[in-house]
């Protein structure tokens, strides 16, 4: 076993040397909400597990930028500073982001995305993975799901 593999096995966590992809900024775009939230969860698990909830939320907010997301961020920061709102966990805060930018119930959003998805310039493998990601949570199975695969 190599040194890096041994480091990963000890304690079951990730080592400080494990690389983590840099998070993309989030501008409030509906189609990016789920990806942003999942990327945040992964990073929090790998790098900020021991940080306080306040530090985790500040880190997440540092990636919320541009458009309506900036205005929302300013309001949230003010509400946090005044004690108007409080979050028990970063997960609860990410749920708030999903509510604010998710555009309705997730199943309806997923169905709408599924109806719009096209292969265009993607390889077949990329398209299939994108389709699977979009289909997850849509409520579509079997025949209706096959009919959307175009």
pLDDT in tens, 17-49: 788 888 999 999 888 888 899 999 999 999 999
Between 137 and 67, residue with greater pLDDT: 67
CA dist 46 → 23, 31, 39, 106 (Å) = 13, 25, 11, 26
| pTM for this predicted structure | 0.63
pLDDT in tens, 85-133: 999 999 999 989 988 887 666 677 677 777 878 888 889 998 888 888 8
């Amino acid at each position: 076993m190599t040194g890096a593999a041994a480091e990963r096995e000890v304690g079951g966590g990730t080592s400080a040397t494990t690389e983590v992809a840099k998070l993309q900024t989030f501008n409030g775009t509906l189609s990016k909400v789920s990806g942003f939230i999942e990327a945040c969860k992964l990073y929090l698990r790998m790098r900020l597990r021991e940080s306080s909830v306040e530090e985790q939320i500040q880190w997440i907010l540092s990636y919320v930028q541009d458009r309506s997301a900036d205005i929302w961020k300013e309001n949230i920061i003010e509400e946090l500073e005044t004690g108007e709102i409080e979050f028990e966990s970063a997960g609860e805060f990410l749920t708030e982001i999903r509510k604010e930018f998710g555009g309705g119930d997730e199943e309806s959003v997923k169905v709408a995305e599924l109806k719009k998805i096209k292969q265009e310039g993607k390889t077949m493998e990329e398209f299939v993975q994108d389709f699977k990601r979009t289909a997850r949570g849509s409520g579509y199975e079997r025949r209706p799901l096959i009919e959307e695969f175009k």
